[in-house]
Structure 1
Amino acid sequence: MHSDIRVCESWSDRHDRPVYTLTTRCPECGGNAVNSAPAPYDPTDRYGEYRRALKQRAQE
C-alpha cells in the first residue's frame, strides 16, 4: 500500500507542525516531501525480534 499524502522531510527542523501535501515539494519551505504512510506490518518478519531488542536497548 502506498499513500499519495506526503509530509515535509525536514518538518521537525523547519516547521512547528507537520506540513502535508500531495506534491513532491513542501509548499511552505520548498523541501522534499516523503511518503507519510508507515511501513506495512509483516507477521512473518524473521528479524522483528532482533530489531525490537535493539530498539529496547537504545531506549535504556
Structure 2
Amino acid sequence: MHSDIRRCSDWEATHDRPVYTLGDRCPLCGAPTENGAPAPFDPTDRYGEYRRRARPDRPE
C-alpha cells in the first residue's frame, strides 16, 4: 500500500506542526518532502523486540 500524501522533511525545525502536501517540495518552506505514512506492522518481525528495547522511553 502506497500513500501519496507527503510530509515536509524539515517540519520539526521550521514549522509548529507537520505540513502535508501531495508535491515533492513543502509549499511553505521549499524543503523536500518524505512519505508521512508509518512503516507497516509485521507480526513476524524477527527484530521487533530488539528495536523496541533500543527505543528510548516515551514521556508519560
**Percent sequence identity over aligned pairs:** 65
**After the TM superposition, which segments of 4 or more aligned residues of structure 1 sit over 3 Å from their partners?**
none
State how far apart, in whole Å, the 2-side matches of 1:53 and 1:17 are: 28
| Corresponding residue number in structure 1 for 2:19 | 19
Q: Distance in 2 between matches of 1:3 and 1:22?
A: 10
Pairing 1:1-60 to 2, within 5 Å after superposition? 1-55=1-55, 58-59=56-57
1:39 and 1:29 mapped to 2: Cα distance? 26
Q: Determine helix, strand or coil for the equivalent of 1:7.
A: strand
1:23 and 1:29 map into 2 onto residues whose CA distance is 13
1:46, CA displacement in angstroms? 0.3
Identify unmatched segments of 5+ residues in structure 1: none
Q: How many residues align?
A: 58
What runs of 5+ residues in structure 2 fail to find an aligned partner?
none
